[in-house]
Amino acid sequence: MRGYIIGLLVWSMTGISSLAAPDYLQVKAMPGDGIYSMLRRYQLEEYPCNFDQFYALNKLKKGAYLRAGRDYILPIMLYDFNGKTIRSSIGVDDWNLAVGIQKYNESMLENALRSVSYKEDKKLWVPYHALNCPDEKVEVAAPVSEAPEEVETMTGDRIFPIFGAKYAKTPLASTKLRGKVFYVVSGHGGPDPGAIGKRAGHSLCEDEYAYDVALRLCRNLIAHGATAYIINRDPNDGIRDDEYLDCDEDEVLWGNVKMNYAQKSRLFQRSDIINDLYEKHKLQGVAEQTAIMIHVDSRSHGQRTDLFFYHYPGSEEGEKLARQMLTTMQSKYEKYRKTGQYEGSVKGRDLHMLRELKPLSVYVELANIRNYSDQQRIVLMKNRQLLADWLFEGLTR
């Protein structure tokens, strides 16, 4: 997991002795890691110089992606501990600096990022910023969570503006999902509308209909006590009851992050955001975290499709959840069709949002946006609500 690599810099500063270039800590990227999440795990994210040094040490361009399992060099310098003092080991006179380095090493040990104390293996971990840019610390704004958007009124009502004026009020129906976290991701958005169907002279944009179902599902989850995140967000469009939803490009990502233009980059933006939130809740002791991706398929005009579900190949829990949701859909459709006529399916697919996410994940396709009969499933408000209700039931049963 960890290794040492020869340092690339020889430096000297006021108050710091001229020493041989230090080694640097080398670690493997975890599945779903982005540069920010990796540096944050090692408490390096608040200093811009750590990012610059990370890019330089690894010969990466800014905005580059990390590959799970590959070794990367962290801006953490490695010094031999002489068994006496930190100051004499690294050649500094600053008492406060030495205390800070000691606390950093103790924190790394406490968080199981170090396997043993520096006093035992005689290796001090010294963050790059501590010696090179200690005054560059910036306050990194944390993404705004659903909680600050919630308004408790005098009557105890809960208001979530993301759902729009009509549906913002979200009473607490139960607490059965308290302590559970969900990430609801509607497909496409921003510069990419996804698949586009035509109906009665109107364009049906996949991202708009997937988003409306996602909002309705998220509202159901919150109504039953869950912590639920809408990852793709539209500042203007709450839950809408219209048949024809206007297509626009003003969607952003959680934390008001602008979507990148390139598709691959957008996918990494989403997975990085979810994985960062996952790690935060994991540290809080949350045991159950689930992500659901909602899309609308596009096939030939004449092909009807029932809801079908994907899981990551080899994920037993993912397949179990997908089949649970499929079974729920089959039972619901028995009211409208003869037994056995529902033709949804469950399959394993190596999709980015299944492969890269840390939470248990499932991916759903709601309909064929180009088929006239399937369009009924998404253009009618009552059907979109039923989809959200049934997805909720399958997700939480």
Strands, E assignment, the chain: 2-5, 23-28, 71-80, 123-127, 151-152, 158-159, 181-186, 196-199, 202-205, 227-230, 232-233, 252-253, 257-258, 289-297, 308-311, 346-348, 360-368
pLDDT score recorded for residue 178: 87
C-alpha 203: how far from chain center: 30
Q: Collapse the DSSP code of 179 into the 3-class scheme (helix H, G, I; strand E, B; otherwise coil) and give the result.
A: coil
pLDDT score recorded for residue 154: 33
pLDDT score recorded for residue 32: 63
| Cα–Cα distance measured from residue 226 to residue 170, given in angstroms and rounded to the nearest whole number | 12
pLDDT score recorded for residue 153: 36
Q: Collapse the DSSP code of 201 into the 3-class scheme (helix H, G, I; strand E, B; otherwise coil) and give the result.
A: coil
- Burial bucket for residue 49 (CB in 10 Å: 0-12, 13-18, 19+): middle
| Cα–Cα distance measured from residue 113 to residue 110, given in angstroms and rounded to the nearest whole number | 8
204-233 burial string, b = 16+ CB within 10 Å, else e?
Answer: bbbbbbbbbbbbbbbbbbbbbbbbbbbbbb
pLDDT score recorded for residue 137: 66
| Cα–Cα distance measured from residue 33 to residue 30, given in angstroms and rounded to the nearest whole number | 5
Task: Specify the amino acid at residue 51.
Answer: F
In the chain, % helix, strand, coil (3-state, to 5) comes to 35, 20, 45
Task: Specify the amino acid at residue 384.
Answer: R
How does pLDDT run along the chain (397 residues), one tens digit per residue?
A: 444 443 333 333 334 444 556 799 999 988 766 787 788 889 998 888 998 999 999 998 876 778 888 999 999 999 999 999 999 999 999 999 999 999 999 999 998 899 999 999 999 999 999 999 888 765 433 333 333 344 433 334 688 999 999 999 999 899 899 889 999 999 999 999 999 999 999 999 999 999 999 999 999 999 999 999 999 999 899 999 999 999 999 999 998 899 999 889 999 999 999 999 998 888 888 889 999 999 999 988 889 899 999 999 999 999 999 999 999 999 998 877 766 678 889 999 999 999 999 999 999 999 999 999 999 999 999 999 999 999 999 999 9
363: its two tokens? 């991916």
The two beta strands, 181-186 and 227-230, are parallel
pLDDT score recorded for residue 340: 64
In contact, 44 and 127? CB cutoff 8 Å: yes
Q: Which of 29, 195, 41 is nearest to 127 (CA)?
A: 41
pLDDT score recorded for residue 369: 96
Cα 63–363–191 angle (5° rounding)?
A: 45
In contact, 211 and 378? CB cutoff 8 Å: no
Q: Which of 334, 351, 349 is nearest to 390 (CA)?
A: 334
Query: pTM of the prediction?
Result: 0.65
| Domains delineated in the chain | 2-132 (no CATH), 146-396 (3.40.630.40)
| Residue with token string 């997991």 | 1
